[in-house]
Amino acid sequence: MRMMVLVFSMVVAVQATSVAHAADGDAQQAFLNGARLYEKGEYAKAAQWFRMAYEAQPNWKILYNIGQCEAEAKQYARAIDAFEQYLKEGAEAIDAEKKKQVEQELALLHSRQLFKDGTELFARQKYVEAVAAFRGAYAIKPHWKILYNIGQSEAAAGHYGLAVEAFEKYLALGGDNIDEIRLSEMELELDRLQRRVGFISVSAPKGAEIFVDGNARGRAPLPGRLIVVAGVNHELKVVFGGKELENRIVKVSGRQSTSVVVGEKRDNNQSKNAVVTQKTTPNDGAEPLGKIKKTEPRQRITNATWKKMMVPAGVGLMAGGGASLLASLVTGVVIKKRRDDLECKDGVCPPAYHSKNDSLNKMISAGNVLFVTGVSVAAVGAVLFIVGKKRFGKEQTVAVTPAMGPQMGGVVLTGRF
């Protein structure tokens, strides 16, 4: 009887060992299959094999491979679960550097998952929820491209002021990385949105938190004006040190601006929740919209401006004319020297000197042109210089007309100076 029990125990032990070896073999083979598929770029299939390996022989290190595969396959939620389980099971064995790397990867995955959620919510026309998802993604991993999605969602949700802020920041941070097509789109969209928004300038004690319609919009002093939807009432609340300093209703018109001062004594006739429309000014001095520059109206050039332009222009022309005259003088000296070398009598030259004589004639023509040009340019420059130095009114005009003719040059002046 004892022998039978011993034999039975031995059989059970052998069977258990065989099962353990089989599990090890299955886990090892599944792991190798996952590694091969990962190298081929088949991440979803690789993740499945790594999971089979983990189930056959649980080992916390395999969870890292699963997380990598799911992340590459854009299955961010699954990747997050795998990495978080990896950190939990290997808490004491993972070194600090590896732990920091995985935590950074988790932050990026959370941002990507929120961005993915925002895209899906926007497609389902759930714009408020999409805004929350996109802003969450931006808060975890700020990237200027996400601001475009935030602006789109805010505009679709009817939050035109917040949409303008997001688009302006997108343009500022994107800079030259934004292509021309997108820039043109932004110009049209911002022009459309700005017709629907107004501006509120808030002056409050330093550090006071400012809320508009329950949304925190920053702390005083604000870097600029708050942009809000025009034509509707907005609840403006200012809180400082846990105490509410201000709570009033503010309303502005499209492209208009109003100022609210907190901390000073209010007019007794103005109730706490009065609609603030005083101190409203046109938005002529609005900040430029990112990279997009609006065309300014062309300004009329005044007399003083003309004077500033004409004096240096006159000096430049006189210098150029002088250079032409100097060149004509040098040409004349060269011509005289070469003509003295020619053995010509009464204008008749030997045949051997005909080519040299033709060359001299060309130089004479060039010298004449230089002389006439120099005189004309220098004269125009002198006139501009003189007129620029003198004061002149609306009726005091001077017309300068160059005059050229055969072997002559000059200018014709008309007017009074």
Query: How far apart are alpha carbons 213 and 160 in whole angstroms?
Result: 13
Contact 55, 26 (CB under 8 A): no
| Low-confidence stretches of the chain (pLDDT beneath 50) | 1-22, 265-280, 283-302, 391-398, 406-407, 416-417
pTM, two decimal places: 0.54
Instruction: Please report the pLDDT score of residue 353 as a whole number.
Output: 52
Instruction: Please report the pLDDT score of residue 252 as a whole number.
Output: 87
Query: How far apart are alpha carbons 345 and 341 in whole angstroms?
Result: 12
Distances (CA, A) of 211 to 118, 280, 310, 332, 386: 25, 20, 56, 84, 63
Instruction: Give tens-digit pLDDT for 195-250.
Output: 889 899 999 999 999 999 988 889 999 988 898 998 889 999 999 988 999 999 99
- The CA-to-CA distance between both ends of the chain, in Å, stands at 140
Query: How far apart are alpha carbons 352 and 341 in whole angstroms?
Result: 13
Domain boundaries, the chain: 148-282, 303-342+350-415
